[in-house]
Amino acid sequence: MDAVVMAAGEGRRLRPLTERWPKPVLPIDGRPVIATLLHELAATGLERAWVVVGHLAEQIESLVGDGGTFGLEVRYAHQPEPLGSADAVVRALAAGATPPLLVVAADTVFTPGTVAGVLGRWRATGTIGGLAVRPVPLAELPERSAVRAEGGRLLAVVEKPAPGSPRSPLAGAPLWFLAEELCAGLTDLPGPPYELATAAQRAIDRGADLAALPIAPTRDLTRPEDVVEENFPYLLRGR
């Protein structure tokens, strides 16, 4: 299994920080978030990751290099414009990534062991795809993938739902698992943006089973003040 790490976004809500630094190199607990993520992927047993870069790509490539520091092989795919999560995966596939894929955002920090555990649970379902889900405040749903699930199955996935649309307390992590069948449907999606949520919903509408995989809360950086909040305990420990 290959990993696809989505690291091309502009991080607009984190401006002005992301005018100078790409979001994945900003720290949580004093370490760049992409560094923590790559260590977690290596601990899961994955041997190769495709990092999809765009905005300030050279900083990410300089930090990550060939991945040896993190215990896995890293290759790169380029997404010059932020055209969505499915477009990022298509670019990784075109560059040589091989399904099945684990697809994850580069700015997310998971509790140690979470990725390995949820990967094992997805494999046990035998489904063509899966999405890690967790509860979030309803106010955050317009910026995330809203999810409806029942009995461990995804029933609906909507990327960044419009105001007034039906609400669910669940959102995607974002951590996706894509078998080859689901990857094959990524090239003819409506857009831009081209989103994995759209591909998942199409598969659900055709009658395919996709797994909803609950996980513990994750950590990420959304607002400039999050950089202070997510690093303050680390700074206190260093006093």
Summarize pLDDT for 44-86 with one digit per residue, the tens: 999 999 999 999 999 999 999 999 999 999 999 999 999 999 9
Nearest 5°: CA angle at 35, between 74 and 221? 125
Report mean pLDDT in 10-residue bins for the chain, 239 residues.
Answer: 95 86 90 95 96 96 96 97 96 97 94 94 96 77 73 85 66 92 94 93 95 89 79 68
Tell me if residue 183 falls in helix, strand or coil: helix
Tell the CATH topology of 2-229.
Answer: Spore Coat Polysaccharide Biosynthesis Protein SpsA; Chain A (3.90.550)
- How is residue 119 annotated by DSSP? H
Which residue ranges make up each domain of the chain?
A: 2-229
- The reported pLDDT for the residue numbered 144 is 65
User: Is the separation of the CB atoms in 126 and 138 below 8 Å?
Assistant: no
- The reported pLDDT for the residue numbered 238 is 57
**What ranges make up the beta strands (E) of the chain?**
2-7, 27-28, 31-32, 48-53, 73-78, 101-105, 108-109, 129-135, 145-150, 153-159, 170-178, 211-214, 219-220
Task: Report the candidate in 90, 92, 95, 106 with the shortest Cα–Cα distance to residue 11.
Answer: 106
Give me the residue label for tokens 């190199």: 25
- The reported pLDDT for the residue numbered 139 is 61
Residues 6+ positions from 102 with CB-CB distance below 8 Å: 1, 2, 3, 4, 41, 44, 46, 115, 119, 175, 176, 177
